[in-house]
Structures are given as C-alpha cells and as structure tokens.
Amino acid sequence: MPSWLILILVGVALVILGVATEIGQFLIWIGAIVLVASLIMGLVGRGRRT
C-alpha cells in the first residue's frame, strides 16, 4: 500500500472518530502532498526516458 494512501486513510479515520482532528487533517494534507509529488516525479521520470 502506498505511503500517501496510508496517511490519508489514517487522517480520515482520526477525523471521523473525532480524535485529534487537527492531526487527522494534517495527515490528510501530507498524504495529498506526497501523492501529488509522486505523480509529478512519475511524469518527469517518464519524460526523461523518451
């Protein structure tokens, strides 16, 4: 399972449970940032191969 997905799932679980909602929202944002960064790196990597 990708790290960004784990971060988002844990963040969503914390927000839904109402425990540490600030930390949950922070984990969701970090997960989204990691997802976007990995997508950009994947596209840049493919661009260099061709």
Indicate the DSSP class of residue 18. Answer: T
User: Is pLDDT of 50 > 70?
Assistant: no
Pairwise CA distance, residues 13 & 21, whole Å: 9
* pLDDT tens column, 12-28: 999 899 888 888 899 98
* pLDDT tens column, 24-41: 899 989 999 999 998 898
Q: Helices (H), strands (E): how many in the chain? A: 2, 0
Taking the complete model, does pTM exceed 0.85, yes or no? Answer: no
Kindly list the domain boundaries of the chain, sorted by start residue.
3-45
Q: What are phi and psi of 36, to 5 degrees?
A: -65, -40
